[in-house]
Chains A and B, each alone.
With several copies, the nearest count.
Chain A
């Protein structure tokens, strides 16, 4: 069983963290992963940095640019993760734009992920339709989950379609926006979370984009199976460093 599914079995509400590999420092990937696991985080999304991250807000853009400037590459990341499963047992998801993956070679990329022990991929600019038609087969071959996004604007029929062919979880974008921390969720958000919860989808949902603190995390997970924190974590990391990670996680739950 995929570690993602196992985790959902074990936990009522997941806390997942996103960071851009290679930022703040090129060699921070491992220390960050260890610190996150040790702090009780349930799952991690490792960002493969991209020059033109068009679904991301300023914080992740900046961390991405910085990581590239530090020398991060696909090859380098795989090197860093080579023996990751010696230490890390929580599910790991790679999050990256499609072009670098294409250039690496999609099959080669999937193969590598499997060999390392990556559990799944989130590719924001690979829509489910194209995935389904052209790439699913390869992903399946290497036992990689591919997770897809839904937003407040995603039509109901499409949500059901996504649900029907998803594995792992559905990445529920909290509001129509690029990534970026928000301080509060309002009634619109709650209504949307409720609406999706009421759809009783078969794939669990995790809320992402805009969770920044305990209150937004709580609100997000009231109706879903978990929350992903990205920008807020990256900002914290930049300010307080890897050693302070447990502090951040404790502030969330």
Chain B
């Protein structure tokens, strides 16, 4: 079984590029060039240098002592929350802005849910002095206000997507429409391992620095290059793809993907794609997708804007169907509780997205000598209002 993308852009049954012809030139240009460019020495050097000098990589692989003690196992946190701008998202935007420059583009668009990808995109655009437009669902604009403010500070234009559920899916539609309308000079920086090929693979490659570092760090700390479990939350799936990447073919590593159950899988207000989804096409990619019998895409729900997406990346659909990864879904309430727990036990306020992953500790039993790596995908600054409201901390 192969877990990486094939030459045609598929992960098993999933993937491809189901795009309107208007996007063909851009996507094809990217497809033809992304590997050659990203594998070139000059690109690698510039990418690596910005990750180190600007983003602050490598991020620590932090041994969570109190948590490990409580759960009687070895828990490590891959600290993507320490990245510049506060989440793993910037790994990808750094890669893509360098890609865009090499493709001669001078305008950037992006979609955003939690706003982290929007901030990360606005950031690299400011860094490079490139025009930037961010699409964001109008509901998300409300619930992730600090990130909206940050994008504006960074000089990006934030456009509200007002259709559908007014969240990530709709922001993505709007971004795609923008790209259709601006086919020549614009690059679309997709924020997760979703969208038409080659995006899922390209984004996963840029994020794979997470597992590459994890390997080196584990070797130092545990004397072996791999953990027993890797655990990450999955919205589109980019932080998860980044953490899993170099472990995909190492079957000794158990892969756990955590989705947002929202108000409960059967509540009608959920974003647990693997449980609720069927094969379908969303945003140019064949994948698992929450939809009606009739093929209309369902409005997902999660308290965390970054997981509030009705699909998953095709890599994850494949990991699910092939049973390579174990999929667990966690309801809002438990995720929120874990946000507080991680804050008060380790002094790390996680993004609500990230908090979902940790709830696995209450669901699954681990052994004392097992090594678990959680992706601490982002910090919770953007979620303070939600936390405060939820826990009545005011």
Contact = CB atoms under 8 A, between A and B. Distances in A.
B297 A51 contact: yes
Interface string A78-110: 000000000000000000011111111000000
Given A125-B281, A125-B284, A101 B295 contact: yes
Given A52-B164, A52-B169, A52-B297, A176 B183 contact: yes
Contacts of B20: 54-55, 124-125, 127, 149
B19 A50 contact: no
Given A68-B296, A155-B25, A173-B21, A55 B180 contact: yes
Contacts of B282: 52, 99
Nearest to B21: A149
A57 B173 CA distance: 11
Contacts of B296: 50-51, 68, 100
Interface in A149-197: 149-151, 153-155, 158, 173, 176-178
B24 A99 contact: no
Contact of B163 (A61, A101, A154): A61
A178 B20 CA distance: 10
Interface in A46-66: 50-57, 61, 65
B19 A127 contact: yes
Interface stretch (B72-80, B286-294, B336-344): B286-294
B22 interface: yes
A154 B21 contact: yes
A154 B29 CA distance: 12
Contacts of A56: 177
Contact of A151 (B163, B183, B279, B283): B183
Contacts, number: 108
B181 A74 contact: no
A148 interface: yes
B176 interface: yes
Give the residue among A98, A127, A128, A130 with the most B Cβ atoms within 10 A.
A127
A219 B371 CA distance: 63
B180 A176 contact: yes
Contacts of B18: 98, 125-127, 130
Contacts of A57: 177
A75 interface: yes
Contacts of A61: 163
A158 B284 CA distance: 20
A139 B259 CA distance: 37
A161 B280 CA distance: 27
Contacts of A126: 18
A73 interface: yes
B169 A177 contact: no
Indicate the size class of the contact surface on chain A: 35 or more
B133 to A, nearest CB: 15
Contact of B180 (A73, A100, A155, A178): A178
Nearest to B175: A54
Interface in A190-249: none
A97 B286 CA distance: 13
B200 to A, nearest CB: 16
Given A54-B283, A149-B21, A149-B22, A103 B164 contact: no
Interface string B1-36: 000000000000000111111101100000000000
B64 interface: no
A51 B281 CA distance: 12
A235 B173 CA distance: 22
B184 interface: yes
A52 B289 contact: no
Interface in B122-139: none
A177 B180 CA distance: 5
Nearest to A173: B22
B18 to A, nearest CB: 5
A126 B19 CA distance: 6
B297 A99 contact: yes
B182 interface: yes
A209 to B, nearest CB: 9
Contacts of A73: 294
A176 B22 contact: yes
Contact of A99 (B19, B184, B281): B281
B181 A178 contact: yes
A220 B278 CA distance: 41
A223 to B, nearest CB: 19
Contacts of B170: 52
A127 to B, nearest CB: 6
A128 B21 CA distance: 8
30 contacts: A50-B296, A52-B282, A54-B283, A73-B294, A98-B281, A99-B291, A99-B295, A100-B295, A100-B296, A103-B293, A103-B295, A124-B21, A125-B19, A125-B284, A127-B17, A127-B20, A127-B24, A149-B20, A151-B21, A151-B183, A153-B22, A153-B183, A154-B21, A173-B21, A173-B22, A177-B22, A177-B181, A178-B22, A178-B177, A178-B180
For the complex of A and B, 8 pairs with smallest distance between CB atoms = A103-B295, A100-B295, A149-B21, A51-B296, A55-B20, A99-B281, A176-B183, A153-B25
Interface of B: 16-22, 24-25, 163-164, 169-170, 173, 176-177, 180-184, 278-284, 289, 291, 293-297
Given A97-B281, A153-B24, 11 more contacts: A54-B20, A61-B163, A75-B294, A99-B295, A99-B297, A103-B280, A104-B294, A127-B18, A154-B25, A173-B21, A177-B180
